[in-house]
Amino acid sequence: RTPSDYPLRWAGLAVTIGEVIEAALPHIGHADWQMVLSGVSRRQSLQLAAQSLAYMYKQQLPTSFIS
């Protein structure tokens, strides 16, 4: 069932989550499943992840520099 040109074929992933949800719930598009199932849009999820990573990075920076 995995297409030969699927980019994650090496990982054993046959299809994307969006494709599975779209097949099981045809009224939900493959691009909208995050919002429907979790209440958070894909854009908002990515923004929150980026903000979290930036905060963790900032916490690892030294508070002062010795010259």
Alpha-carbon distance of 32 to 21, in angstroms, equals 10
- As given in the structure block, the two tokens for residue 58 are 């900032």
What does the pLDDT profile of the chain (67 residues) look like in tens digits?
667 787 777 887 777 788 888 888 888 877 788 898 899 999 999 999 999 999 999 988 887 765 5
- As given in the structure block, the two tokens for residue 27 are 């009224």
